[in-house]
Amino acid sequence: MAKIYLACEASTDDHPFAQRDYERMIYYASTDKLGNHDVCNNPEDAEIIVFIGSAKPNFSDIKGSSLYKKHRDKSVVFYSGDRGIPILPGLYACLENKLAIRHRKSVLSCYYLRVTDNTSLDIDENIDDAEYLYSFIGNANNHPVRKKICRFSGERSFLNDSSLDVRQQDDGITGENKDRGLLYRDVLTQSKFVLCPRGVGVSSWRLFETMRAGRVPVIISDDWIPPVGPTWDSFALFVKERDVMGIPKLLEETETEAVILGANARKEWEKWYSEEVVFSTIMDLLLLTHSKALKENKLLAALTYTQYLRPYYLRHWILSPLKQRLKGFWSESK
């Protein structure tokens, strides 16, 4: 039995939901039925220290903490943000299949814990009775492939661009915007296939919500790396971003398989991500990343930093903070 110490250095001052995954992990440790791991109260006794979440670019809240500095060699990260460069060993929900990353063994793709919170997705209705062949509800502005999807037409589809809704998306399952959540669940219930395109990040909650609901996810994300565990080919359809316009025809041809695929999706979700097992699933993978980090090629790990030269990260994570510092320096010098 591995001893695990759970930690969170993320401040809610910058991000109000920064500690949600930490709270979730603590809870799911208490509901775990497999008993493969023990959460300990002393980091000195732990085999690994898991830092959950981060509110800072470059994970500076983690790297700057005294706990990380003291136990760097046994520290790993669980991070479910949309954009995170995997400079630290651990699990990343939006791990991208990029040249500097794909060959690393100390970083793996992972699951969104928030989906295990949402019991409303335990749908009893038969997929054969679903009104829609396929559906999509999401912000079309988050990626060009979503805009293409929202231009589909067909009597047996439900497509909704949520960017037209001025209300903010709630983090978590409850909130003031409950009608949006009810619409989402109702449409999910009435769908055989659910389109799961990439958004700001290469992954999405929608994919795992679809699994839980026992519907068939249609994954449209060329750079997404599937998490280790589920047998993805047994229930999911994968479509290249360049082939997105052929989806309606593909789903018409695959409709007779929806019942089996949907049942497999739910089965795989229960096996890997249900309340009784999700903690063990995540900890098993974190222990694996830690063991690989100890043997990892230092040059290969260092190449991950080249991701900062990509336009988004260069603009928001380097140039913008530098600009703010220069403004502060200029103000103080006056």
Q: Which two tokens stand for residue 211?
A: 């699994």
CA–CA distance, 76 with 91 (Å, rounded to integer): 8
Write out the residue range of the structural domain in which residue 179 sits. Answer: 119-274
- pLDDT per residue as tens digits for the range 206-236: 999 999 999 999 999 999 999 999 999 999 9
- pLDDT per residue as tens digits for the range 84-127: 899 999 999 999 998 778 889 999 999 999 999 999 999 999 99
Q: What is the DSSP letter of 315?
A: I
Of 251, 274, 297, which closes a domain? 274
Q: Contact, 138 vs 117, CB < 8 A? A: no
What is the C-alpha R_g of the chain?
Answer: 21
Indicate whether 268 and 290 sit together in one domain: no
Q: How confident is the model at residue 167 (pLDDT cuts 50, 70, 90)?
A: low
Indicate whether 162 and 82 sit together in one domain: no
Of 274, 290, 315, which closes a domain? 274
Indicate whether 267 and 293 sit together in one domain: no
CA–CA distance, 77 with 27 (Å, rounded to integer): 18
- pLDDT per residue as tens digits for the range 1-26: 899 999 999 999 878 889 999 999 99
Burial 247-286 (b: 16+ CB within 10 A, else e): beeebeebeeebeebbebbbbbbeebbbeebbbbbbbbbb
Percent of the chain topping pLDDT 70: 90
Q: How confident is the model at residue 172 (pLDDT cuts 50, 70, 90)?
A: very low
Count: domains in the chain:
2
- pLDDT per residue as tens digits for the range 306-315: 888 888 788 7
* Secondary structure class of 327 (helix, strand, coil): helix
Looking at the predicted structure, is the pLDDT value of residue 171 above 80? no
pLDDT of residue 58: 86
- pLDDT per residue as tens digits for the range 37-47: 999 999 999 99
Mean pLDDT lowest among 149-153, 171-175, 251-255, 281-285: 171-175
Indicate whether 150 and 233 sit together in one domain: yes
Indicate whether 20 and 87 sit together in one domain: yes
Indicate whether 284 and 270 sit together in one domain: no
pLDDT of residue 20: 95
Indicate whether 99 and 235 sit together in one domain: no
CA proximity to 200, closest of 319, 52, 111, 81: 81
CA–CA distance, 101 with 185 (Å, rounded to integer): 35
Looking at the predicted structure, is the pLDDT value of residue 334 above 60? no
Indicate whether 30 and 140 sit together in one domain: no
Burial 298-325 (b: 16+ CB within 10 A, else e): eeebebbeebeeeeebeeebeeeeeeee
Residue type present at position 188: L
pLDDT of residue 302: 86
CA–CA distance, 219 with 197 (Å, rounded to integer): 6
pLDDT of residue 13: 87
Indicate whether 230 and 256 sit together in one domain: yes
Indicate whether 310 and 177 sit together in one domain: no
Of 253, 274, 295, which closes a domain? 274
Residue type present at position 308: Y
CATH number of the domain bearing residue 269 = 3.40.50
Mean of all residue pLDDT scores within the chain: 90
Indicate whether 127 and 260 sit together in one domain: yes
Looking at the predicted structure, is the pLDDT value of residue 182 above 80? yes
Which residues are bridge partners to 153 per DSSP?
none
Residue 19's Cβ-side half-sphere holds a number of Cα atoms within 13 Å equal to: 12
Query: What CA dihedral angle connects 124, 130, 134 and 138, to 10 degrees?
Result: -50
pLDDT of residue 175: 46
Indicate whether 139 and 190 sit together in one domain: yes
